[in-house]
Amino acid sequence: MIFLSGGSTMLEGMKKLLKSKDTCVLATASGNEPHCSLMSYAVNDDCREIYMMTFRSTRKYENLLSNPVVSLLVDTREEDNPADRTHTKALTISGQFERIEDEVARLRAKNSLMDRHPHLKTFAENPDTEFFVVKVKSLQLLDGITDASFLTLD
C-alpha cells in the first residue's frame, strides 16, 4: 500500500475517475445503523465539492442531518470484464455533508446536476427536493486488488 499526503499525479488520476462517472454509492449512518443509497452526482472543477439531491422525506436525508460524516464509492466495474475484475478501480471518498443555504450556490449545484443528469429535471424541480454538497476530506483509490493510494485534502 502506498500512502501519500499530497501527490499531484495521484490526485489528478482520482479527479479524472470522479469526473468520468456520474453515479456513486452514498453511505450515511444514524447511530450504529449504516445506510447506502445509489446517487447521481456532479462535481465542481477541483473535485472538492460533490453535488447531490434528495427528497427531504428520506431516511438518507434524516441520517445526513443527524450525522454529516459520509462516505462515497465510485468505481469502474461496469467497464471491466465480469470474468476478470482484477483491474477495477474503486475510489472511496470521505467527506462532510452540508446543506446549501445560499440561493446562488443552490442554483450552481442544480445546474451542475442538470448538465450531467437532464433526465432528473422533474426530480430537481420538486418542492421537496433538497440540494446538498459533500465537502471532500480524503480520497482512497484502490487500483486492482492490491494497489491502494490515500490522499488527505487540505
63-116 pLDDT per residue, tens: 999 999 999 999 988 776 666 666 788 999 999 999 999 999 999 999 999 999
C-beta of residue 123 within 8 angstroms of C-beta of residue 46: no
* pTM for the structure as a whole: 0.89
* CB neighbour list of residue 34: distance below 8 Å, 6 or more residues apart: 27, 28
Per-position DSSP letters for 66-124, written without gaps between them: H--EEEEEEE-GGGS-TT--TT-EEEEEEEEEEE--SHHHHHHHHHHHHHH-GGGHHHH
- What percentage of the chain has pLDDT greater than the value 90? 73
Unique residue bearing C-alpha cell 437532464: 118
Residue ranges per structural domain of the chain: 2-152
Tens of pLDDT, residues 3-41: 344 456 888 889 999 999 999 999 999 989 999 999 999
Q: What is the pLDDT of residue 85?
A: 60
Assign domain 2-152 to a CATH class: mainly beta
